[in-house]
Amino acid sequence: MFLKNCWYVAGWRDEIDDGRLLARTVLGEPLLLYRTEAGAPVALQDRCCHRGAPLSLGRREGDCVRCLYHGLKFEPGGACVEIPGQANVPPKARVRSWPVVERARWLWVWMGDPARADPAGIPDTHWLDDPQWRSLPGTMHYDVPHLAIADNLLDFSHLPYVHPTTLGGSEQYAQERPLVERLARGVRVTRWVMNIPPPPFVTQVAGWTGPVDRWNIYDFTVPGLLVMDSGSAPAGQGAREGNRAGALQFHSCQALTPEAASSTHYFFTQPHDFALDQPAVTQAVHDIVKQAFAEDEHMISAQQRNLALDPDFEMLPLAMDSALMHYRRVYAALLADEQAKAQARPAGTP
């Protein structure tokens, strides 16, 4: 069960450039993403209404797509406009379509009631294409449920243990309790750790070896978006009070999009605002983050395999779990509300 009435990141803008037909399953629905000739993104059900073949194996014809099994042709709204050898196109000959919007390098798709799809509700991730920031696109696929990855992203006390040579470093980081604030649609986590050795990636990309004050401040909101102000500054210069002169700053944006009940797409970037003219630094930042996220994937996947062995296993709630517990409560409450409203609606309405 997933929240439907919200915007999900379905992929990267350039994944549908050059006339490409992109197949991507989101919330258990096979989607075909492509562009019209004018460049507008389109999201159609990737299952032909005739006999279920993927339209992504078809071909674009102008703004339309033709299924290359038996030749039905569909316009961007999902209606079939041509059936070979048959003049009459029945009204039922159509596939679903979903609202899709391109914003700051991401393709956002609305999987719920189209009448409620307001692009003004798309979260701000402008750091992805702001000229004052640099980043590279990252994509991973997880064979675990999205909430298990959210759990990981909502508790950074794992950094020194899972990422000792990348994002982590000093175990003092895990000793500091973050401030956890409840948001209507998620959680805000604020963690400052003062006067610690620089995390390994900071030494690697900037050569810093002296002590730093380090911060991670992020909102994690439904349906699975992390937007984070993070960085390191020379210890004691007053970064916490607002003096970020000479600091290394990042503005990470990460999106979890369920593929199905037990698998998840993970789209991420790590924009930085220093060394803007040095692509090698951008590449190094990206490579380290990718390496770190592979470390997360290794641990989370192993955890899930372990949990699957004992459905009765009960987790032990601890202080470090407060953000993830709150997020799970928010998610469950919004999902229950959405489903109650859907059931109250007359049959046949979306």
* Residues near Fe ion, by CB under 5 A: 296
Within 10 Å of residue 253's Cβ, how many Cβ atoms? 25
Name which of 100 and 154 has its Cβ closer to Fe ion.
154
Three-class SS of the chain? CCCCCCEEEEEEHHHHCCCCCEEEEECCEEEEEEECCCCCEEEEECCCCCCCCCHHHCEEECCEEECCCCCCEECCCCEEEEECCECCCCCCCECCEECEEEECCEEEEECCCHHHCCHHHCCCCHHHCCCCCECCCEEEEECCCHHHHHHHHCCHHHHHHHCCCCCCCCCHHHHCCCEEEEECCEEEEEEEEEEECCCHHHHHHHCCCCCEEEEEEEEEECCCEEEEEEEEEECCCCCCCCCCCCCEEEEEEEEEEEEECCEEEEEEECCECCCCCCHHHHHHHHHHHHHHHHHHHHHHHHHHHHHHHCCCCCCCCCHHHHHHHHHHHHHHHHHHHHHHHHHHCCCCCC
Nearest to 162 by CA among 53, 322, 298, 344: 298
Name which of 72 and 159 has its Cβ closer to ligand FES.
72
Q: Is 89 in the site for ligand FES (CB under 6 A)?
A: no
Q: Is 79 in the site for ligand FES (CB under 6 A)?
A: no
CB of 144 to ligand FES, least distance (A): 33
Q: Is 274 in the site for ligand FES (CB under 6 A)?
A: no
Quick note: the x/- pattern for ligand FES over 200-229, rule CB under 6 A, is ------------------------------
Q: Is 59 in the site for ligand FES (CB under 6 A)?
A: no
Tell me which of 3, 6, 16, 48 binds ligand FES, using CB under 6 A.
48
Q: Is 69 in the site for ligand FES (CB under 6 A)?
A: yes
Q: Is 71 in the site for ligand FES (CB under 6 A)?
A: yes
Could you tell me how many residues of this chain bind ligand FES (CB under 6 A)?
9
Of these partners, Fe ion, ligand FES, none, which one is at the site of residue 65 (CB under 5 to 8 Å by kind)? Answer: none
Of these partners, Fe ion, ligand FES, none, which one is at the site of residue 341 (CB under 5 to 8 Å by kind)? Answer: none
Name which of 3 and 48 has its Cβ closer to ligand FES.
48
Of these partners, ligand FES, Fe ion, none, which one is at the site of residue 296 (CB under 5 to 8 Å by kind)? Answer: Fe ion
User: How many whole angstroms separate alpha carbon 169 and alpha carbon 196?
Assistant: 9
Rounded to the nearest 10°, the torsion over CA 133, 150, 41, 54 is 140
Q: Which stretch binds ligand FES (CB under 6 A): 50-58, 137-145, 189-197, 308-316?
A: 50-58
Name which of 34 and 106 has its Cβ closer to ligand FES.
34
Name which of 55 and 180 has its Cβ closer to ligand FES.
55
Of these partners, Fe ion, ligand FES, none, which one is at the site of residue 72 (CB under 5 to 8 Å by kind)? Answer: ligand FES
Q: Is 335 in the site for ligand FES (CB under 6 A)?
A: no
Name which of 70 and 141 has its Cβ closer to ligand FES.
70
CB of 91 to ligand FES, least distance (A): 17
User: Using CB under 6 A as the criterion, which residues of the chain lie in contact with ligand FES when the complex forms?
Assistant: 48, 50-51, 53, 67, 69-72
